[in-house]
Structure 1
Amino acid sequence: MGADHPPPARAGEPREDKRSLLQKIAEFIHPGPDSKDELIETLAEAEDNQIIGAESRVMLEGVIRMADMSAGDVMVPAPRMDLLDIAAPLESMLHTVIDTGHSRFPVYEGERENIIGILLAKDLLKLQRAPELHIRALLRPAVFVPESKGLNDLLREFRGNRNHLAVVIDEFGRVAGLITIEDVLEQIVGEIEDEFDVAEDEGDIFSLADKTWRVSGDTPIERVNEAFDVHLASSDPDTSFGTSFDTIGGLIAHEMGHVPKRGEHAELGGLRFVVMHTKGGAVKWFKVSPVADVSA
């Protein structure tokens, strides 16, 4: 070894602190954050000082907060899970797929607790091309995780395999809910628009094949009035909806007295609004039909 190279530090010897005196003084005067809350405050200061942008700060905060979150914190609870019964006819399954807009479904046999696999919506097309196939042959293995599973670990597993949906199990081994990779990522980047979501400038009321309509929950009441020739407004002497609700979702939630859940319905102004899809504690889509056309 040449004389120009200092000998390597031996085990147990303290490493040389190469920080300058100015750096040491600065760190003494302004110590770094020693808690997550302080780190989040530091990020806010960085945004104020234009070191990072607002979107970057929100995502970084999401990453920090996610470290303390588990699958049970963000899962879709079991009563709100959209499942497929393996014994159901193909037409019924297709109806569920179209109405909910999901790409993956847990499949059960007998009781809803007995989940036997995951079905990709696109795989149902194979049954139409090859009717001799049984749906059981199309099922993917179901992944089960405990409610206590950390989101960081779960995201790592989602990224490492092709299963982007997991069934959440409680401490007694019962189905507590389900969680998708989208649910996890939304903790970082906020709500993700999927294939069931439509940009605001692309419309908010759509005609369906069964002569009903799909209506976005954030559709203005005036837009609903115009499209269906109804009068859902406080100016109608037969109603008492008030003027504080701008959207059809807010109006129906007020009429129900709670946040609507999938499958619930309300009848207003001669129309039946059935909740098709909820997200983030709000109704994303209603299925709408005239009350007179709804079979008993």
Structure 2
Amino acid sequence: MGTWLRNLVRQRGGDHSSLRSTIEEIIEESEREDQEGSAIGTHERVMLANILHLRHLTAYDVMVPRADIRAVHVDSSLDDLIDVMSQGGHSRLPVYRDSLDDVIGLVHIKDVLAHAKDAAGFKLSRITREVLFVAPSMPVLDLLLEMRLSRVHMALVVDEFGGIDGLITIEDLVEEIVGEIEDEHDVAEGPKLVARPDGSLVADARTPIEEFEERVGAMLTDDEREEDIDTLGGLVFYIAGRVPGRGELIVHDSGVSFEVMEADPRRVKRLRVRNLPPWHVSSEDAEG
């Protein structure tokens, strides 16, 4: 992505006052209705907007809160450690002594597997790796750079008293730019379209456009199809030109409206779809 962004900015001639102004200009030009052959598509525009947003975020804004941190005690057996990592799908976990406020490092799944045949002689303290400790106010971009330079991909957010406030992985930071990353360990929950008695639909924003149009009929314009929009969330972003917030109402040219029911700064998550054609709901689909 870095090479892609550098090449895109270089095409602007390099005579802009700042990288931010260059990116903003690229986004604005790509959104113009009469813009033909835009240099970037919907997904790239989302990433550029997220990069600008990232400049204002701190470690506190993106951390996993303390209550949700999964960690292991330094005296954990090999079998217990494997169970915890396999159940949660984690490749790295913090290691602590007396409490979560006494973290001594992290354990990586690669090191655990390397000792899988030596359960009797296993000691977690021998394979514990370094972990970063950062202040809640640390800018996210500075943290991303620190992780790259140190090659340590986990950081614990520490308050002024030395207590652990939260945890951040490099995956969390990358997701702030490109959106949520799912791997083979993530539980797959298929996108859903749920009909409501009032004739509306409650939709997962990840619902494929193809599936949505099978339900309600073709509605995308030719311009929207050329943008290669894949999901309802992508369509809403395209119409709004940004990631809309919870409660916002986005109206399509067809008259179909999308109310944002759930969203975060990076993406829309859930939508209520109204003003649909009358034939889209079958009676057995409606919920009470």
With the shorter chain as reference, the TM-score category is 0.5 to 0.7
Give identity over the alignment, percent: 34
Distance 2:122 2:99 in 1: 23
Paired residues, number: 185
Distance 1:51 1:113, change over 3 A: same
Distance 2:184 2:160 in 1: 34
Where do 1:54-73 residues align within 5 Å? 54-73=42-61
Where do 1:207-218 residues align within 5 Å? 216=189, 218=190
Q: Of 56, 60, 64, which residue of structure 2 is paired with 1:76?
A: 64
Distance 1:245 1:76 in 2: 28
Contact 1:84 1:108 in 2 (8 A): yes
Aligned amino acid, residue 172 of structure 2: D
Distance 1:281 1:119 in 2: 34
Q: Name the residue aligned to 2:146.
A: 157
Contact 1:165 1:180 in 2 (8 A): yes
- Give the superposition deviation at 1:85: 1.2
Does the residue aligned with 1:129 lie in a helix, a strand or coil? Answer: coil
Aligned amino acid, residue 166 of structure 2: G
- Give the superposition deviation at 1:40: 3.9
Q: Name the residue aligned to 2:240.
A: none
Q: Name the residue aligned to 2:169.
A: 180
The structure with the largest alpha-carbon Rg is 1
Distance 2:72 2:268 in 1: 23
Distance 1:54 1:246 in 2: 20
- Give the superposition deviation at 1:142: 1.8
Q: Of 27, 30, 34, which residue of structure 2 is paired with 1:43?
A: 27
- Give the superposition deviation at 1:123: 1.6
- Give the superposition deviation at 1:195: 3.7
Q: Is 1:88 the equivalent of 2:76? A: yes
- Give the superposition deviation at 1:52: 2.3
Distance 1:196 1:47 in 2: 36
Does the residue aligned with 1:112 lie in a helix, a strand or coil? Answer: coil
Distance 1:89 1:107 in 2: 12
Contact 1:44 1:57 in 2 (8 A): no
Q: Name the residue aligned to 1:137.
A: 126
Does the residue aligned with 2:115 lie in a helix, a strand or coil? Answer: helix
Distance 1:97 1:122 in 2: 11
Q: Could you state the TM-score of these two structures normalised by the residue count of structure 1?
A: 0.54
Unaligned runs of 5+ in 2: 1-14, 205-266, 270-288
Does the residue aligned with 1:187 lie in a helix, a strand or coil? Answer: helix
Distance 1:129 1:70, change over 3 A: same
Where do 1:99-248 residues align within 5 Å? 99-130=87-118, 131-197=120-186, 204=188, 216=189, 218=190
Does the residue aligned with 1:132 lie in a helix, a strand or coil? Answer: coil
Unaligned runs of 5+ in 1: 1-26, 199-203, 205-215, 223-233, 235-242, 248-279, 283-296
Aligned amino acid, residue 146 of structure 1: A
Distance 1:246 1:36 in 2: 34
The ranges of structure 1 where at least 4 consecutive aligned residues each deviate by more than 3 angstroms after the TM superposition are 32-42, 218-222, 243-247
Contact 1:118 1:141 in 2 (8 A): yes
Distance 1:136 1:118 in 2: 10
- Give the superposition deviation at 1:176: 0.6
* Offset from partner CA, 1:163-190 (integer Å, 9 cap, x none): 1111111233210111011111111111
* Offset from partner CA, 1:198-217 (integer Å, 9 cap, x none): 7xxxxx5xxxxxxxxxxx4x
Distance 1:195 1:40 in 2: 35
- Give the superposition deviation at 1:137: 0.4
Distance 2:268 2:73 in 1: 26
- Give the superposition deviation at 1:82: 0.7
Distance 1:73 1:281 in 2: 18
Contact 1:167 1:178 in 2 (8 A): yes
Distance 1:44 1:193 in 2: 30
Aligned-residue RMSD, C-alpha: 3.4
Q: Could you state the TM-score of these two structures normalised by the residue count of structure 2?
A: 0.55
